[in-house]
Structure 1
Amino acid sequence: MPIEIEKIIKKSQETCALAGVKLTNKRKNVLIVLLNSKTPLSAYDIADRYKVQFQESVPVMSVYRMLDFLINERLVHKLETSGQYISCAHITCNHQHEAPQFLICDHCGSVNEVGMKKPIVDEIERSVQDTGFTLTHRQLELHGICKRCLNRSV
């Protein structure tokens, strides 16, 4: 396992321990599958890659339960527009996590996670509340073309 992934897994285990929960081997392996992917994955993709990487089958329903756990512990995000999953880009950071904003490339499928500053999120929430609507989820997903794909088309 690459050193960077080892560092992320160690921090993830510490985070879970502080929360009083356990990052089991299977949960850890699902996280590793996501960490090794350059693009978001569906639960089915994760199950397929899990089998290849760890020579062990895992039912898709179990993958969903493990993903729910990893999302709850803020180690993984679900991209609502695609129903796919991505590891959190800020697992090893020591700062307070901001509301996630995902920049999704419609050409290559890459995703860049950028935190939204609290004043921006507060302003969006105020604007939404002024319409009588209540936000239940503060994640923002923006689609476009990444710099790498844009440079390829020039």
Structure 2
Amino acid sequence: MNNLQAIISHAENSCKAHGSRLTPKRKQILSGLLQSDRAMSAYELVDYCKGEYGESPPPMSVYRILDFLQSEHLVHKLNLANKYIACAHITCDHDHGVPQFLICGRCQRVEEITVGKATIDSLKHNVEDAGFYLASPQLEMDCLCKACHDNPA
């Protein structure tokens, strides 16, 4: 079994454990995100399905599938870009804390990292000191990946 199949199988078992199902269409969308090294929009996933499977699901169906995958903690939505990325920890069975995303502003490559609870607690405290409340601890940082940094265009 290759790595992609192993991840899909683990995701399928995780869904079953929650009383839900990873249908063939959901597997296709998840596969597209797993094979990409950058975040993808619903419309990019429609194009992926057309190229890979010869069928174009309606964008609204893709959005519903993405909502399902997000609720199962298999994908993350990048709010600033309105795009999605597969969770880097699908096959893990333990908590990894709050995911943070480093997004290359040039090539759009995304890397998921985890920030420690103490850092998030400090951030939350600073937000509250400023008179706000943290709606989500997810951070999306505009960066340059090493390849883009080392090869300026």
How far 1:97 moved relative to its partner? 2.4
- TM-score, with structure 1 as normaliser: 0.93
User: 1:50 aligns to what?
Assistant: 49
Pairs within 5 Å for 1:67-106: 67-106=66-105
Unaligned runs of 5+ in 2: none
Per-residue Cα deviation, 1:102-134 (whole angstroms, up to 9, x for no partner): 111111110110011111111111221223322
Q: Which residue of 1 aligns with 2:3?
A: 4
* 1:60 positional shift: 0.3
The aligned residue for residue 134 of structure 1 is 133
Cα distance per residue 1:63-82 (max 9 Å; x no partner) = 00000000111111111111
In structure 2, give the amino acid aligned to 1:27.
R
Shift of 1:149: 1.2
Q: Which runs of 4+ in 1 moved over 3 A?
A: none
* Structure 1 CA distance for aligned equivalents of residues 68 and 131 of structure 2: 32
How many residues are paired up? Answer: 153
Aligned twin of 1:112: 111
**Match in the other structure for 1:152:** 151
- Distance between the aligned counterparts of 2:56 and 2:143, measured in 1? 35
Question: 1:28 aligns to what?
Answer: 27
AA of the residue aligned to 2:37:
K
Tell me, what secondary structure is at the counterpart of 2:32?
A: helix
1:34 and 1:105 map into 2 onto residues whose CA distance is 17
Residue in 2 that maps onto 1:41: 40
TM-score computed with the length of structure 2 as normaliser: 0.94
Following the alignment from structure 1 to structure 2, what is the Cα–Cα distance between the partners of residues 77 and 124? 21
